[in-house]
Chain A
């Protein structure tokens, strides 16, 4: 229930936008385009799911773009230069990114520092580390890469649901279940309500903080692997600025930037809206791709205004029901 009404609005915007695009370019309404949209935004959907947890808990994670970049470089080097089997490389990089996130969470909790600062430092650190590893783009030629790229479920109407799109859908589903159905999820909302109060109510705030940032970095690591499948390369400059696209998707999905409310499903819809704008611009052909950013910016404004409106509305009945409830 929680967080769904704003997500519902996101859903309406998405459907309306899709319909409008389809009217102009009937081809958009095909499984092929939808399949591509899911594939193109698979890595974004995965990081955004993690970011949703962080933002609902009242934090922010600016390091995710850099972690994606680092992961691609590390995976490429490990497979191509160091001769690691791909699966070992994946496990290693996921362990690294999870540890990195856990460390940021621990610093935030122990030194009581703002997550913005700590993850900003994390962002520079991870990006710097990937430059240290390599500054060039490293193509990955391991057979598993072509196998995974070729794998796809055929959709009726000629569309393809690729492996990475399937991974993304699985993670979004898993994330939604984790957030809404488990004790961990309830504690995430509790932290977003108030850290002090949550701790007075017996929530282990420190452990939760570590776990939440660990989850976010871990998902950024997975997104990095997915990204390397998508581009078949590792490059230290990949996914620059993705943290901002991610935050935008989360907010457009109806999650409150101040924490305490939101949903993974909403975030997924937010990712799709951004993908839809990109698709529209590709179809149009005359528009510069920077219009994606402008449209995203406008949508962000609209959603933040909308949230403020909803928050204000939610306050009003409070005064009314104040007594009636007793």
Chain B
């Protein structure tokens, strides 16, 4: 393992891999080559087969055909443990850690420092602290992992994989729930590892990040390899064409129609609304046909605001009104009753029911809203499912497939469809485009605009400032669990948002690229 690798020799060679799930051909004769010391992006639309390729290579799924070589030697791992023994460390897309164990146990599971057959708890904690410090995280490593935010859990998963000091490191959408600051730290570590000769493969839907960090790019489409290029010589539009197999209609980044339509009546308003220790009291007015963006760093109170608005969390002060009439929002049920919808950030724990089919997942909220004594007929369900599968381009377009078998991005679309199906008057979207590919991303942004033109009121949380600027009429900026600024009209731009986030010098370190 120590001998310096010959750069000409590929570190990880994947040849002719095929994999079918029943009738679905998820991978067909895919090749993939990773050299020592390179950072290699694996790209493709939702459902292209990226995660499947990773799982087949690391032995989580058995493969139908093909070979894998590491350093010229053929390997056929049959479990993640065997893959690790062969030199591949992986962070899978579904952040895979154990919430019931302490952070330290998660980092060192199955490789704890031992003495006389006994785990050296103190030593393990010390090492865990040191390891997380490299990622800029200073937390109590003896606390259960589940008591921390998704971002912390994600960093922990990455830190674990990095520390396994394998020859190959695979990261499936590692940056999906990280903020800019954490992404910078991760990239710093990735570069450092690459310099040490480790080959890194990573999946991401953030093309900016791909261009920032990767040396080469491999693109998959519909389970087939469509190309492998040097990042430097692959223009962005060409990359998108490779991924989608068509040109992307120019929809993004133009703040075109925003602000042009006339402002309509107030849909919901909140006055001095807040909860002690959760979010400071705020005033918020949401109008029909308007998108309000919530911007701020992770932990600034964005999700908390959304949960209060929806009723998932009880306010301890202030007034809420819907269409002018005072209402009480004590539970998500109240929210649904008043025509609110909420698409949470954590689709796996808060939303998707993996065993149910796409159709059942889509009609879930609508059925709950109608009440159990008025069941939707199967015809109606089929009709609704068909409409949204088409509208959001859910793939494969099979409404009877269990959602758990869909790719991560397509699960996200199903969740969005569930709330759209209830025809809400106010829809709260927490990171709606996370894990969604460029094509669908543009679709969703277009959809957001269209919905607004139909009079829907939207409250959208996003860490992508470019994106939030694209569709928001107004942007509320949060910092330290308080609403600190509201930008409207011409003032809505990335620079102003960043300035508001970083005011007082707080978070200057987080600034980064816009």
Contacts and interface: CB of A to CB of B under 8 A. Distances in A.
A46 to B, nearest CB: 22
Interface in A161-204: 177, 181-183, 185-187, 189-190, 192-194, 196-204
A325 B101 contact: no
B99 A202 contact: no
Contacts of B142: 1
A313 to B, nearest CB: 12
Contacts of B160: 201
Interface in B175-226: 179, 182
A181 to B, nearest CB: 5
A319 interface: yes
Nearest to B90: A200
A294 interface: no
A314 B148 CA distance: 11
B147 A323 contact: no
Contacts of B147: 314, 317-318, 321
A182 B117 contact: yes
Nearest to B80: A200
A298 interface: no
A320 interface: yes
A326 B149 contact: yes
A261 interface: yes
Given A189-B101, A200-B96, A325-B152, A183 B179 contact: no
A65 B68 CA distance: 49
B139 interface: yes
Contacts of B102: 1-2
Given A200-B80, A201-B109, A319-B313, A325 B98 contact: no
Contacts of A199: 79-81
A323 B301 contact: yes
B146 A183 contact: no
Interface residues of A, number: 36
B100 A326 contact: no
B438 interface: no
Interface in A290-326: 314, 317-326
A260 interface: yes
B341 to A, nearest CB: 19
Interface in B73-126: 79-81, 84, 90, 92, 96-102, 105-106, 109-110, 112, 114, 117-119, 121
B502 interface: no
B278 A320 contact: yes
B299 interface: yes
A1 B300 CA distance: 31
B117 A320 contact: no
Interface in A205-254: none
Contacts of B182: 326
A257 B74 CA distance: 44
B110 A201 contact: yes
A186 B101 contact: yes
A183 B119 contact: yes
A201 B108 CA distance: 10
A4 to B, nearest CB: 12
Nearest to A187: B110
B151 A182 contact: no
Contacts of A314: 146-147
Contact of B300 (A182, A193, A319, A323): A323
A180 to B, nearest CB: 9
B277 interface: yes
A189 B110 CA distance: 12
Contact of A192 (B100, B150, B298): B100
A326 B298 contact: yes
Nearest to B112: A183
Contacts of A187: 109-110
B304 interface: yes
A256 to B, nearest CB: 9
B474 interface: no
A261 B303 CA distance: 29
Contacts of A319: 304, 307, 313
Given A186-B109, A201-B110, A323-B149, A261 B84 contact: no
A194 B99 CA distance: 9
Given A183-B110, A321-B148, A323-B301, A260 B100 contact: yes
Nearest to A189: B101
Interface string B443-468: 00000000000000000000000000
B98 A189 contact: yes
B252 to A, nearest CB: 28
Nearest to A201: B109
Given A189-B101, A193-B100, A197-B97, A323 B481 contact: yes
Interface centre among A201, A260, A314, A320 (most CB of B within 10 A): A201
Nearest to A259: B100
Interface in B435-494: 481
B276 to A, nearest CB: 11
Given A2-B102, A186-B101, A202-B84, A326 B110 contact: no
Given A193-B100, A323-B481, A181 B119 contact: yes
Nearest to A317: B147
A172 to B, nearest CB: 18
Interface centre among A187, A192, A203, A317 (most CB of B within 10 A): A203
Given A193-B99, A317-B147, A320-B278, A202 B110 contact: yes
Contacts of A1: 102, 142
Contact of B98 (A198, A317, A322): A198
Contacts of B421: none
A203 B110 contact: yes
Contacts of B67: none
Given A203-B81, A326-B299, A182 B100 contact: no
Given A202-B84, A319-B307, A325 B109 contact: no
A193 B109 CA distance: 12
Closest 5 CB pairs of A and B: A323-B299, A193-B98, A260-B100, A202-B81, A322-B149
Given A200-B90, A200-B96, A326-B298, 5 more contacts: A1-B142, A2-B101, A189-B100, A325-B148, A326-B297
28 contacts: A2-B100, A177-B118, A181-B121, A182-B117, A183-B114, A183-B119, A186-B119, A189-B100, A189-B105, A190-B110, A194-B98, A197-B98, A200-B80, A201-B97, A201-B110, A201-B160, A202-B79, A202-B109, A203-B81, A260-B100, A314-B146, A322-B303, A322-B304, A323-B149, A323-B298, A323-B481, A324-B299, A326-B152
